[in-house]
Amino acid sequence: MEKFVRLDGLVAPLDRANVDTDQIIPKQFLKSIKRTGFGPNLFDEWRYLDEGFPGQDNSQRPLNDDFVLNLPRYQGASILLTRRNFGCGSSREHAPWALMDFGFRAIIAPSFADIFYNNCFKNGLLPIVLSEDNVEALFKAVVGKEGFRITIDLENQQVIPEEGEPLAFEIDEFRKHCLLNGLDEIGLTMNEADTIRAYEQRRAEQEPWIFQ
Amino acid sequence: MAGKTLYDKLWNAHLVTEREDGSALIYIDRQIIHEVTSPQAFEGLRLAGRQPWRTSASVATIDHNVPTTPFKSAAEIKDETSRIQVQTLQENTKEFGITEFGIGDVRQGIVHVMAPEQGAVVPGMTVVCGDSHTSTNGALACLAHGIGTSEVEHVLATQTLVAKKMKNMRVSVEGDLGPGVTAKDVVLHIIGVIGTAGGTGYALEFAGSAIRSLSMEGRMTVCNMSIEAGARAGMVAVDDVTIDYVKGRPFAPKGADWDKAVEYWRGLVSDNDAVFDEDITIDAADIRPQVSWGTSPEMVISVDANLPDPDAETDDVKRSGMQRAYEYMGLTPGMPVTDIKVDRVFIGSCTNSRIEDLRAAAEVAKGRRKADSVKQVLVVPGSGLVKQQAEKEGLDKIFVEAGFEWREPGCSMCLAMNPDRLEPGEHCASTSNRNFEGRQGNGGRTHLVSPAMAAAAAVAGHFVDIRELEQA
Ligand code: SF4
């Protein structure tokens, strides 16, 4: 997993509450054998005017010009600013996969759905909870100024808008540690590689046939 | 100190390290891989720039969505998703240097048939696969259970699994099995007794004289359905039957290793003074040929019985479950099991597609014919090697003469991911393991039975008591 230490990025505002995972990535795209490649179908029903299906050439589809992610000023955004209870609904891990594949590395909202919140950390996507008031202020700032950027300093747990006061956020120590060091569950187990190797050596003496 | 159960011994032997939160890292000796639950795991490795920890620990094959009609290359698979999954497994195993028994390889077959057949699973191993019926392999005194895709990746990368120790349950079946009563009837009966959640949180050990009297194939059938009893893992202790089965198989230890292995394996039994959290004894004489009538494996009764009355059920949740099942299955309480007509018959799946199963079905089919009212009887061997053996014994001819279809190995109508499936409303006598709504095709109605009972139903057009058929 990629490390997450500090991120300076353009912010896209998605002014909706209760965005569920089926809206993030509709179910017809789950048949894939990959966990990448979902980016073009992120928010599919909102981004395009026609109905999406797997294997389509998305570049040929009619875009919904009103949808925020289609606006030229938000191209290249890596931080998503949104409203409460983001990521509710089905537990599909495809939702964080799609957000990351599109280019987002952090999401700021007043609250997140539980499973989605957990799934984000498994995949190196940082969900940040700020108060309703702070989120509201950020919405105003982002919409008010084209090219508005935010810096996220994970080490010091701060969201630093290009104008205004830094905002502190909470995060579980263990999860912070994993993100800062790029450790997913596999990464964590890998920290015990020596123990695993020592175990293998012991076993190989007793049951050599296992290792042939 | 109290003695240890077989599961305790397997757990201890694989414990790499224990963590503060009570979870542990256990070492995985063998990982079996198939096309449906592995693509994202391999991709995860690639994205993170990781290599498999020990490629020789994994063996792969295709089974879940391969057609059971002959095909020579992946390009011939019509369904796009299936084709891509089969091709992706080919590419992944090649890229990472993992052994795959693929298209055209005689060793190709259902994961849980292929692995023991190859000796890729031997006693004392931990065995995982992205498939819940991995418990089948526990028949060889292994700790074997299914895992999810993210865990498949974890095992590939680290050869370990984050796990928590389960509780111990023993189910002893004592006495002699009656005529016509097979391993499938034993396990269906057990599920009927303990329920589909009875084994939740437990590692199940099947014991007792009736279990010991079963062949290795029969023990696999029993362990296979541990998951339908709620338990992720089921197992049987080592005895001569186990050791004779493993001897000489391609992946099995050879020479001096073999002797050393046998000596070690002999210890893979529960100690006499071992304490089980739950200990159940079943009288073998109570077990008659079984037929499931509902939409959960615990909705099962003897072939000579009448369907149960939901109104007699005191538990509200169970009663409404039964009522829903009756509606879905289109059956009426009180009717004799033998009045249930069947439209299709499926003989196959990791529960019952080994040579012994095909022999049992052929014995019934021999000299008889499929009833005209039965639209199709599919016989799907569990692997290319099972198919070869059956053909050597002439079983394929018996089936074809009886009007049954003799197919290529795969999971087939067990889960209907390939073109073999039921039409809405059709009743199927099936030797598979799950009778959930829609499992064998949308609206399909599955009845779980033994291979002999399935063949008998094919001949009669409805369920028949195999014991009476044999006397005829
Ligand atoms: S035969 Fe059925 S239960 Fe067995 S592995 Fe295949 S799909 Fe799963």
pLDDT attached to residue A149 = 97
Q: If you average pLDDT over residues B405-420, what whole number do you get?
A: 88
**Domains B6-163 and B292-471 belong to one CATH topology:** yes
**Given an 8 Å threshold on Cβ–Cβ distance, is B17 in contact with A203?**
no
Provide the 3-class DSSP secondary structure of residue B288. Answer: coil
Place of tokens 């969505």: B65
For residue B200, is pLDDT > 90? no
A-B C-beta contacts closer than 8 Å? 75
**Given an 8 Å threshold on Cβ–Cβ distance, is B158 in contact with A190?**
yes
The size of chain B, in residues, is 472
For residue B472, is pLDDT > 70? no
Alpha carbon of B446 to ligand 1 centroid (Å)? 15
Q: Are B112 and B63 in contact (CB under 8 A)?
A: no
Q: Which residue of B has its CA nearest to A3?
A: B48
pLDDT attached to residue A92 = 75
pLDDT attached to residue B248 = 97
More confident residue, A30 or B269: B269
**Given an 8 Å threshold on Cβ–Cβ distance, is B253 in contact with A34?**
no
Binding residues of B for [4Fe-4S] cluster: 350, 411, 414
Q: Which residues are near ligand 1 (CB < 6 Å)?
A: B 63-64, 110-112, 131, 133, 349-350, 411, 414-415, 432-433
Q: If you average pLDDT over residues A139-144, what whole number do you get?
A: 96
Q: How far is CA B349 from CA B35, B90, B410, in A?
A: 16, 23, 8
**How many angstroms separate the CA of residue B220 from the nearest CA in chain A?**
21
* ipTM confidence score: 0.92
Q: How far is CA A26 from CA B36, B40, B70, B374, in A?
A: 20, 18, 36, 41
Tell me the domain boundaries of chain A. Answer: 6-181
Nearest to B209 by CA among B243, B185, B249, B236: B236
Q: How far is CA A186 from CA B41, B55, B96, B162, in A?
A: 12, 17, 18, 10
CATH 3.20.19.10, applies to A6-181: yes
| C-alpha–C-alpha distance, residues B37 and A33, integer Å | 9
Q: What angle do CA B39, B45, B49 make, to 5 degrees?
A: 145
**How many angstroms separate the CA of residue A90 from the nearest CA in chain B?**
17
For residue A60, is pLDDT > 80? yes
Q: Which residue of A has its CA nearest to B151?
A: A186
Which atom of ligand 1 is found nearest the CA of B417?
7
Alpha carbon of B436 to ligand 1 centroid (Å)? 13
Q: If you average pLDDT over residues B7-12, what whole number do you get?
A: 98
Q: Over the stretch B89-112, which tens digit does the pLDDT of each residue have?
A: 999 999 999 999 999 999 999 999
Tell me the domain boundaries of chain B. Answer: 6-163, 167-238+267-286, 292-471
Alpha carbon of B110 to ligand 1 centroid (Å)? 7
**Given an 8 Å threshold on Cβ–Cβ distance, is B253 in contact with A209?**
yes
Q: Which of A186, A195, A202, A211 to mutate to test the interface with B (most CBs of B within 10 A)?
A: A186
Q: Over the stretch B16-54, which tens digit does the pLDDT of each residue have?
A: 999 776 779 999 999 999 998 899 999 999 988 999 999
Which atom of ligand 1 is found nearest the CA of B349?
1
pLDDT attached to residue B377 = 97
User: Which region among A7-16, A21-30, A126-135, B59-68 has the lowest average model confidence (pLDDT)?
Assistant: A21-30
More confident residue, B371 or A28: B371
Nearest to A28 by CA among A45, A13, A4: A45
For residue B420, is pLDDT > 90? no
Q: Which residue of A has its CA nearest to B36?
A: A33
Nearest-CA residue for ligand 1 atom 4 is B350
pLDDT attached to residue B352 = 98
Q: If you average pLDDT over residues B335-362, what whole number do you get?
A: 98
**Given an 8 Å threshold on Cβ–Cβ distance, is B153 in contact with A122?**
no
Alpha carbon of A144 to ligand 1 centroid (Å)? 57
Q: What percent of chain B has pLDDT over 90?
A: 82
Q: Which residue of A has its CA nearest to B38?
A: A33
Q: Structure tokens of A190?
A: 């890998």
Q: How confident is the model at residue A91 (pLDDT cuts 50, 70, 90)?
A: low
| C-alpha–C-alpha distance, residues B52 and B42, integer Å | 9
Using an 8 Å CB-CB cutoff, list chain B residues near A35: 40, 43-44, 47
Q: Which of A32, A33, A196 to mutate to test the interface with B (most CBs of B within 10 A)?
A: A33
Q: How confident is the model at residue B9 (pLDDT cuts 50, 70, 90)?
A: very high
For residue B327, is pLDDT > 50? yes
Per DSSP, helices labelled H in B280-409 are 316-329, 355-365, 384-392, 395-401
Q: What is the mean pLDDT of chain A?
A: 92
Q: If you average pLDDT over residues B421-449, what whole number do you get?
A: 93
Class of the domain covering B167-238+267-286: alpha beta
Alpha carbon of B414 to ligand 1 centroid (Å)? 6
pLDDT attached to residue A173 = 83
For residue B267, is pLDDT > 60? yes
Using an 8 Å CB-CB cutoff, list chain B residues near A196: 16, 25, 27, 53, 158-160
**Given an 8 Å threshold on Cβ–Cβ distance, is B56 in contact with A212?**
yes
Fold of B292-471: Aconitase; domain 3 (3.30.499)
Pick the CATH number of B6-163 from 3.30.360.10, 3.30.499.10, 2.40.110.10, 3.40.50.150: 3.30.499.10
Q: If you average pLDDT over residues B287-300, what whole number do you get?
A: 96
Nearest to B62 by CA among B92, B98, B100, B22: B100
Q: Are B6 and B235 in contact (CB under 8 A)?
A: yes
Q: Which of A210, A211, A212 to mutate to test the interface with B (most CBs of B within 10 A)?
A: A210
Q: What is the mean pLDDT of chain B?
A: 94
pLDDT attached to residue B252 = 97
Nearest-CA residue for ligand 1 atom 1 is B349
Interface list for chain B against chain A, based on CB atoms closer than 8 Å: 13, 16-17, 25, 27, 29, 39-40, 43-44, 47-48, 50, 53-54, 56, 80-81, 84-85, 88, 122, 124-125, 150, 153-154, 157-160, 162, 252-253, 257, 260-261, 264
User: Which region among A41-50, A128-137, B172-181, B432-441 has the lowest average model confidence (pLDDT)?
Assistant: B432-441
Q: How many CB atoms lie under 10 A from the CB of residue A35?
A: 22
pTM, two decimal places: 0.85
Alpha carbon of B64 to ligand 1 centroid (Å)? 7
Long-range CB contacts (< 8 A, 24+ apart) of B319-322? B321/B294, B321/B296, B322/B294
Tell me which DSSP letter residue A208 carries.
Answer: G
Q: Are B306 and B466 in contact (CB under 8 A)?
A: no
**Given an 8 Å threshold on Cβ–Cβ distance, is B257 in contact with A208?**
yes
Q: Which residues of B394-417 are buried (b: 16+ CB within 10 A; e: fewer)?
A: ebbebbeebbbbbbbbbbbbbbbb
